[in-house]
Amino acid sequence: MSSDQKVRAFLFYLSVAIFFLGLPLILSSTLGYKFDRRTFKFTKAGLIVLKTQPVGANVFLDGRPTNLKTPATINELLPGTYNIGLELEEHYPWSGYAEVEAGKVTKLEKIKLFPLRPSVKQLNKESLSFFLVDEEKDLLYYINDEEGQIYRSDFEGEHFEKVAGSVRKLTGEIRFKISPDRQRLAYFNRRQIGLTNLAMPKENRELPGDFILEYPKDEITDLFWHSDSYHLVVVTARSVDVLEAQPAAVPLTLVNLSKKDSLPYYDSRTDALYFLDSQKGYDGRLYDNLYKLQLDTRTFLLQDLIRPKAYEQKPQKQKNP
């Protein structure tokens, strides 16, 4: 055999040997396996899917750049924990850990990158102490506690205007509730309830003006408007009351409470009050229970309960023919 033939034969057998030696690597890579130098075994690889808002962030894996930009997929990862870093110009960087499992996809798809200079806009055009959000009508109410003035605008601060109403000075912590018809505002502390009209004067001539209701019975925990915009549901430390949103209204106690912190919630869609209260069990211990008080009674029935009739007409006697 000539030397040329020997060289060709050597190269042929060498190529065959390299092919068979590299075949497992080729097949394993095709089938999603990767050689793990820690265990000297072929292991099923996993991958990480990244999505950001906004897009275009540079991706770092364990502190090293990957030349990928979001949305991105990092393939052929051995099982384990990886540190993911994301950087986007003029945004705060993001970092977190991702756990990769064999043959599985790890998704990080709700990453929000916040700008270095957030958009902040002043909405009020007058001084204020409190504000209220009317989500249903997309309105903001601004209340100046010192001057007792009320203003209103849309969610962008546009159409800023003074509302025909005023807030009287109350001491202590004050909370506010807008009536469902958007014509009245109730504000209260632990012992007083104030009401004022929010509609323009020509729209609320039949409504009483601004006034304060003293509430000496017990400390007010919370207050809610009934859907009729005429009655108030008042939760105190000891009772659930209902009263008319009128001057000199007298509260009617519907439920007596044993628990001071009743955590009330009012569903204005169904006029149902949910609250916690304690009840003694057979073993003598107190147990907290959740109750639902339904208040969808027609308005005139509530008025009959709260406001006594001035007189009752007596039936006339029938005359004999």
Strands annotated E in 211-264: 211-214, 220-225, 231-236, 239-244, 252-256
Nearest to 241 by CA among 259, 258, 220: 220
Boundary-marking domain end, from 58, 79, 112? 112
Residue 28 in any domain: the answer is no
Q: What percent of the chain has pLDDT over 90?
A: 50
Answer yes or no: do 69 and 187 share one domain: no
CATH number at residue 61: 2.60.40.10
Cβ contacts of 135 within 8 Å, gap of 6 or more: none
Burial-class residue 69 by CB neighbours within 10 Å (0-12, 13-18, 19+). Answer: middle
Q: How many CB atoms lie within 10 A of CB 74?
A: 19
Tens digit of each residue's pLDDT (9 = 90 or more) over 287-312: 889 999 999 765 444 555 444 433 33
Answer yes or no: do 105 and 200 share one domain: no
Residue 68 in any domain: the answer is yes
Tens digit of each residue's pLDDT (9 = 90 or more) over 84-137: 999 999 999 999 999 999 889 999 999 999 999 888 899 999 988 889 999 888
Answer yes or no: do 197 and 102 share one domain: no
CATH number at residue 179: 2.130.10.110
Lowest mean pLDDT among 7-16, 138-147, 307-316: 307-316
Domain count, the chain: 2
305 SS3 class: helix
Answer yes or no: do 274 and 200 share one domain: yes
Answer yes or no: do 190 and 265 share one domain: yes
Tens digit of each residue's pLDDT (9 = 90 or more) over 189-203: 999 999 999 876 555
- Determine if the pTM surpasses 0.75: no
153 in Cβ contact with 139 (< 8 Å):
yes
Amino acid at 227: S
59 in Cβ contact with 94 (< 8 Å):
no
Q: How many CB atoms lie within 10 A of CB 201?
A: 9
Domain span including residue 86: 41-112
275 Cα distance to chain centroid: 20
Answer yes or no: do 261 and 181 share one domain: yes
Boundary-marking domain end, from 69, 94, 112? 112
Structure tokens at 252: 């009617």
- For residue 31, the model assigns a pLDDT of 47
Residue 222 in any domain: the answer is yes
